[in-house]
Structures are given as structure tokens and as C-alpha cells.
A and B are shown apart, each in its own frame.
Chain A
Amino acid sequence: MGFTTVKFALFFLALLIVYYRLPGKGQRAVLLAGSWCFALADGWRSLLMLLTTTVTAWAAGYVMGENQSCLGGKKARAANRPWMAGWTILNLTVLVLWKLCQSETASRALAGGDMAFLTRGLPLGISFYTLQAMSYVLDVYQGKVEPEKNFLKLALFTGFFPQLVQGPISRYGQLGNQFGERRDYEKKQVSFGMQRMLWGSFKKLVIADRMAVAVTALKDPQYTGGAFFLLTLFYAVQIYADFTGGIDMALGAAQAFGVTLPENFIHPFFSKNIAEYWRRWHATLGGWMKEYVFYPVSVSAPVRRLSKAARKKWPGFGKRLPVYGATLVTWLATGLWHGVTPNFVVWGMLNCLVIVISQELTPLYRKFHSRFRWKEKGWYGGFEMVRMFLLMNLIRACDLFPNVGEYFRRLGSLFTGFSLSDFACLDQLGLTALDYGILLAGVAVMAAVSLVQVKQGSIREKLWRRPVLRLALGFGLFLTVLLMGWYGVGYEAGDFIYNQF
């Protein structure tokens, strides 16, 4: 049940009405029933996997909580370690196996057999709720959060339907308590939520799905050099509009139910360096990886030993080695989370490489900037943003091709066969001049909205005090989606890209 389907709209409205109309404490149960129905709409295996993860996480948390209250201190930690490790290994293994089964090799091997169901796409939201549940189990183990005794609360934390499609990845400390109390209808919250959903559907249906046509066409091997540059540019627009559109819809749907999910995109294309970019793009995944992979690896005993040995040989570099080692592992994990394929491993390693090189060149940058005072000039900030945007476009394109070799062939063609005449392919990509016009205008609107948000804060808050303008803009946006959306007969509106991870 995709966010941009009529079925979802009907489901959402029905659930919203029942949720706020229901007296007493039934809200939580209704929301959970609705969320499980949402998972069930994707098939029994999606619901079963969600239930399995939820029940085992709750049970692990419960047992660890009992140990903490009975044994306390180090004894409890020792008793809890097998539970934490066992749960983590089991769930990670399941996630990796599911992902492995999506490969062509696995599909061929399992075709027609009893296990063929494993190859029919990932269960809805498994990549997201597995990380969420893992953060809960690890936080309980480390004593950062209290184990949740109320199963319904934990089940909502893992299975709350808006975050099942493509995240964000919440932590129990942020989200769990929001399911604790009854929420009365607040016009402002519901209105804000729906406005954000409408904005998300604009990004998805008007921009992302239209741009997907050109991106698909440009993947054809004949397009190299300048055409590859276009591909990286178009893909940046598509994935940004698709992913942020989906997240807007998820956050908007949650807000309508009075639940605040964490922001996942904080204007990432305004970033000036790669570290900043990854704090802004898919921020909840970055945050999760930092908390549960980067920090534990960088302070782990083997890395510390390695660092000690390295410092003797290279005092400066040896000091930074634990950070680089942890960065490597983190990016490997991030790549594999997106897909157990060579492309995502290479994509992760490229990100890691750029981060490490940037870090190593920091003294050089400092020297350069102390001599040339460009950083103080206004234009330099813009230059850094463009540089970052183009660099990330080149790295991101790695997941567009069926194999890594093809990616590097296209990347190489950018430097060996670039020609402005390559841009002439624009009229062969399945889009009309009008479509390009709509895309250009759509991108301009997205950029303008981002700029206003950065400079002046929430646009919805400002509009709340001006109901006529709010209605006019809302209706205008609705008409734009209605008339210019890429949907209906003759169009192929795609699933959200991050749904596949």
C-alpha cells in the first residue's frame, strides 16, 4: 500500500477518524491494529516478520530488565550479554539473508522451491524496523532506556505504519513515550500533517516519477560522457524528490496522529563537506550507524591495540587510525544495509575514501585558507556547496548500474569523452519540453522552499496565521499534483526508491 495510492488515502482517513473518535485508552490499540493491517496489506510474510522482530525484541528487553532488577550492576550486564548478542546476531542474520535472497543468483537458485518466497522482495520495512528494534535492545543492555513492559507500546515503536515504508529510523527514547498517552484532536497538528503529506506527494508524483523516465533512459549503455553527467544530475533530483517526498508523507502522516518522527533530511544539498552532507542526508541512518557501529568499533579492544601499535610507527596517523578503522566498518555496514551487492559495497567505500582523504588533507586546507582568504568571501560557500553536490552525484551514481565495472566505465567516460553535444540526448529520453519545464519549475520551487525554511523557519507556522493564503496555496498545490502528477493510464508511477532497501 504505497503512500500515493487511493487505497492508502482511504486507509489513512478511516484510521484517523476512528483514532480521534475513540473514547478512553483505545487509541493505542487502534493505531497498532491499523499499523499491522498496513503491514498485512503487503502480505503475510511482512506482518509475520514484523511480529517476530517485535515479540523477540520485547522478550529480550523484558528478560534483560528482570536481570537488571534482580542481579544489578556487572552481574546483570554479564547475564544480559548473551541475550543482547543472541538477539542482535539472529536479527542481523535474518536481515542479511533476506537481502542476499534478492540477488539474481539467489532468485535462480530458489526459483520454484519452498523457499522461493524469500526472493519476492523484502518484507515491508524490515531494514528500518530491524535497526529500530536493535537500537532498543542495545539501549536496554547499556541501561540507556528502561525495558518496556507494555507490549503495545513497543509494538507501536517498531510497527508504526508511517515509518514502515522508508523510515525514518527512530530511537526508543525519542518515540516510545509518544505512544504512552491519549491524544486529543488538534486541528493544527492534523492540518500540518496533511499539508506535509501533500507537499511530499508533489515531490514524488510531479518531480520524482517524471524524472525517473529520463533516469531510466539514461542508464542505457550508449549514454556516456556528458550524458552520464546529466544522469548524475537527474538522479540527484529524482532520489532527493523521491526520498524526501516519502519522508514528508511519513512525517506528515505521523504528525496527523500527534506523533513526531525525527527529521531525516536537513537540506542536504546546502552541505559544504561530506561529513556535513551525511549529517543532513538520511540523518537517522547516519545517526544510528554513528551510535551503534562507529563508536563501539572505534573504542573496541582490537582497534585500540592496532592504534597503539601504529602510533609507535607513525605517531600522527596512528592516533587517527581508530577513527579511520571505525569509518571503514561504518561505511561497509551502511553500504550493505542498502543492499548486499558489490555496487553498494563500492559506494560505501567511495564515501569512506572521500572522508578519509578530506581528513588527511585538512592541514593542507588550513594552510591554503590561511594564505588565500576565500573562505571569508560570500561566493566561496556557494562554491563549496556546488562542489559537494557534484561530488556526491558522482558517488551516488554507483547504485544505478547492474555492475561496478559499468559504473567505472561511465565515470571514466566523463573525463575521457565529455562533449557538450552529448546533451542533445535530452530529446530522446521520453520527456517532452513541457515535462522539462515542469521539472525545472518543480526543482525551483523545492529549492525556494528549502531556502525560506533555512532563513525564516517553518513555512507552515507562518501560513497558520494567514488562513486565506494557506487555503489558496494548499489548493494550488493540490491542483498541481492533480494536473501535473505522473499517475494514471499511460504513466508508471514507481514505488518509493528507499522502499527497496
Chain B
Amino acid sequence: MKKLAAGALCLALLWLLQALLMPKYMTSTPEGAMIREYYDSAGDHNVIFTGDCEVYENFSPVTLWEEHGINAWIRGSPQQTIWQSYYLMEETLEYETPDVMVYNVFAMCYDTPESTGSQSRREAYNRITLDGMKWSFSKWKAVQASLTEEEKQWEGILTYLFPILRFHDRWAQLTKEDVTYLFHRDTVTYNGYLMQTGVKPMTEAHVTAPRADYTFGENSWYYLEKMAALCRDHGVQLVLIKSPTLYPAWWPEWESQIEDFAREQNLLYVNMLEYQQELGIDWNQDTYDTGLHLNVYGAEKASRWFGRILAEECGVPDRRGEKELSAQWEQTIQQYQRQKAEAKEETQ
């Protein structure tokens, strides 16, 4: 009995240490806190978005609710690769079965972990997505898929299951934030949407160097096909989108490959770049970084337009009549409007 108690005490201490040493992402890089926010409200969403910054910056679930009564969540994270999106979808289906899953196809251009950037950059982005996931078989597979062959050593994999092995030396850089958020986190998003209120107009056209080869890689296709099969098997409609951003470029050659795939798989594919006029995006007002991402005003326009597609073409129900859900949303909307108003005041 004594031995059991001692063992439990040691494990508890290790858990506490891990909680203390993990980066909290509260006062800086809030993107790191987004993935873990999902678990507290999982279970009853009609639409789940997955993808990179082009989803969590460009769509506002608050607008989708206010305008169309759609209960949505965005499981987005910076430079989220297609294999991570796939395993996030797989994990989501353990918690709930939404009517629609929306996937932003830009990440198709990253075929392998190696192609996503330098080792340090890749690791930082992997951490932001994977450290937020709860322990599960999906997480294990996501980790395996996210590491390069060189990184796929036991030491590398274990640091994602036991992050204390990665952040073991952070004790020298601990701040007040690490103690304040030891057992809880503040909410940094509105159902996965990270609000950006700044305005930085697009003053000149972005130039992207042409590529030698525009064919999407085998690995990207493998995961997109898996994604389609996963949704089909669970009776979920998969909708592919290309989010409305001007940079990095979305090449016509990529467009035709996705169109062909969507046709073959009988999937709805919406390239929102082609509907910029209908969306009403004003690149002088609706972007906070010269067209790479939309700000809250642009995100609201995009959501208003896309909500109509979800409602009319996908049949996502309007749930504004549900009292309990409406009450929950009311709280979110108040906070959302307050932040927006504060930002507006600051700029005036």
C-alpha cells in the first residue's frame, strides 16, 4: 500500500511538473492554445472546419450563428498540414458526428513533413497543433505522420506523448504566466476563430515565384482520399474550400486538380477566390496583413456568404430556436462584440 502511495505521489509530481513546464500560450502566440479549446465544448457541432490559418482567421463561427443559426467550430492551427487535419477530423469523430466537415485545401501543396520548412520552424508548428491534442490513437498517428524519417526516433516521438521531455529545461525561463495558468487556460478564440481587428490594406500585388511542378504529391492525395472516405464512412458531408486570401498564390493548375478530385468523389468544392465580388471583400479594409489573411470584418463577410452555402446546399439546420444553445452563444457573442468594440475604440 505504501509503495502504491509513493508511486502515485511520484507520478502526480511528474504530472504537475509537466503542467508547469509546458508553454501556456496565453500572453503571446495564442495560436498555441487553440487546439485544446475544442475539448471543453465538443459534442454538438453541425460544422467543423479544419485547416491552417486560412480557416481560423477567415471564418467567424459567431457570424455563422448570428446569420444562419449554424453551430460551428474551427479546429485550425498555423501551417496545419493535411495529415494533421485528417487526424484532427478522425479524433473529432470520436467526440461528435457533425453534418459537415470543411477542409481548406491550400495545405495540399505540402506533401511531406520535409516540405513544410526548416526543422525548427516545422517543430514549432507541429508543437502548436499536436501538443494541444489529448492522448489518443489519432494523436499517436498524427505525430508519426508529422515527423521526418530522421526525426522519427523514439526520443522524438516520446516528446509529443510526454512533452516534459521537450520542455524539460524551461524551468529556467518560467514566468508568472506559467503559475497562473497551471491548471486552467483562458479562452483565446470564439469557437476556434482567432479575432484580428487590425487593418493593413493590400497596397500592391503579391508576387509568387512560379513552380517547376504543380502536381500535388502522393502523400497529400493519400490523405485527401482518406479524408473523403472517413467522412463517407461516418455519414458526414465533406466540403472542400479554398479560403479567400491573395497570398500565397493559389495556382490554376492546383485548382483544376482539386476540381477533378471533387468531381470524381462527388464532393462540393468552393473556391471562394472566385466569388470575391459576391463576398464583398474590400482588400483595403478587410485584411490585417495586406491580403494574407482577413481581419474580423473580412471574416464576417466570408462567413455570411459561406453560411448560406452551408445552409442551402448542405442543409445545415438553423438552430437559433434552441434555448440552451442560444444562451451559450449569447455569452460568446457578447464577449466577441466587446472585443470588437474595444478594438474599434482603440483605432479611433
Q: Which residue of B lies closest to A478 (CB)?
A: B10
Residues of A within 8 A of B165 (CB): 482, 488
At the interface, yes or no: B281 with Cβ under 8 Å from chain A? no
A483–B158 CB distance below 8 A: no
Q: Tell me how many residue pairs across A and B have CB atoms closer than 8 Å.
A: 36
B159–A483 CB distance below 8 A: no
Contact A7 B154, CB 8 Å, known A471-B6, A488-B166, A489-B123: yes
Contact A6 B168, CB 8 Å, known A471-B6, A475-B10, A489-B123: no
Q: In the complex, how many residues of chain B place their beta carbon closer than 8 angstroms to a beta carbon of chain A?
A: 17
At the interface, yes or no: A434 with Cβ under 8 Å from chain B? yes
At the interface, yes or no: A10 with Cβ under 8 Å from chain B? yes
Residues of B within 8 A of A7 (CB): 153-154
Q: Which residue of B lies closest to A481 (CB)?
A: B168
Q: Looking at the complex, which one of A5, A479, A487, A488 makes contact with B154 (CB distance below 8 Å)?
A: A5
Q: Is the interface of B mostly helix, strand, loop or mixed?
A: helix
Ordered by A's residue number, 16 sampled pairs between the chains whose C-beta atoms are within 8 Å are: A5-B154, A5-B155, A6-B154, A6-B158, A471-B6, A475-B13, A479-B13, A479-B17, A482-B164, A482-B165, A483-B168, A483-B169, A483-B171, A484-B169, A488-B155, A488-B165
A489–B166 CB distance below 8 A: yes
The answer for the CA separation of A484 and B170 in the assembled complex, in Å, is 10
At the interface, yes or no: A485 with Cβ under 8 Å from chain B? yes
Output the least CB separation between B194 and chain A (Å). Answer: 26
Interface centre among A5, A6, A10 (most CB of B within 10 A): A6
CB-contacts of B144-197 with A (<8 A): 153-155, 158-159, 164-166, 168-169, 171-172
Q: In the complex, how many residues of chain A place their beta carbon closer than 8 angstroms to a beta carbon of chain B?
A: 15
Output the least CB separation between B182 and chain A (Å). Answer: 17
CB-contacts of A429-482 with B (<8 A): 434, 471, 475, 479, 482
A434–B172 CB distance below 8 A: yes
List of 6 A-B pairs having minimum Cβ-Cβ separation, nearest first: A6-B154, A483-B168, A7-B154, A6-B155, A475-B10, A471-B6
B159–A489 CB distance below 8 A: yes
Q: Is the interface of A mostly helix, strand, loop or mixed?
A: helix
Residues of A within 8 A of B169 (CB): 483-484, 488
Output the least CB separation between A463 and chain B (Å). Answer: 15
The answer for the CA separation of A434 and B173 in the assembled complex, in Å, is 11
Interface centre among B155, B158, B166, B171 (most CB of A within 10 A): B155
Residues of A within 8 A of B159 (CB): 488-489
Interface residues, chain A, with chain B CB atoms under 8 Å away: 5-7, 10, 434, 471, 475, 479, 482-485, 487-489
The answer for the CA separation of A433 and B84 in the assembled complex, in Å, is 40
Output the least CB separation between B46 and chain A (Å). Answer: 40
Contact A488 B168, CB 8 Å, known A6-B154, A6-B158, A10-B154: yes
Q: Looking at the complex, which one of B123, B153, B158, B168 makes contact with A482 (CB distance below 8 Å)?
A: B168
Output the least CB separation between A458 and chain B (Å). Answer: 23
Residues of B within 8 A of A434 (CB): 172
Residues of A within 8 A of B158 (CB): 6
Residues of B within 8 A of A10 (CB): 154
Residues of B within 8 A of A6 (CB): 153-155, 158
Residues of A within 8 A of B153 (CB): 6-7
Output the least CB separation between B7 and chain A (Å). Answer: 9
The answer for the CA separation of A487 and B168 in the assembled complex, in Å, is 9
Q: Which residue of B lies closest to A468 (CB)?
A: B6
Residues of B within 8 A of A483 (CB): 17, 168-169, 171
The answer for the CA separation of A472 and B122 in the assembled complex, in Å, is 39
Output the least CB separation between B221 and chain A (Å). Answer: 31
The answer for the CA separation of A10 and B154 in the assembled complex, in Å, is 10
Q: Which residue of B lies closest to A434 (CB)?
A: B172
The answer for the CA separation of A484 and B172 in the assembled complex, in Å, is 10
The answer for the CA separation of A475 and B168 in the assembled complex, in Å, is 16
Q: Which residue of B lies closest to A475 (CB)?
A: B10
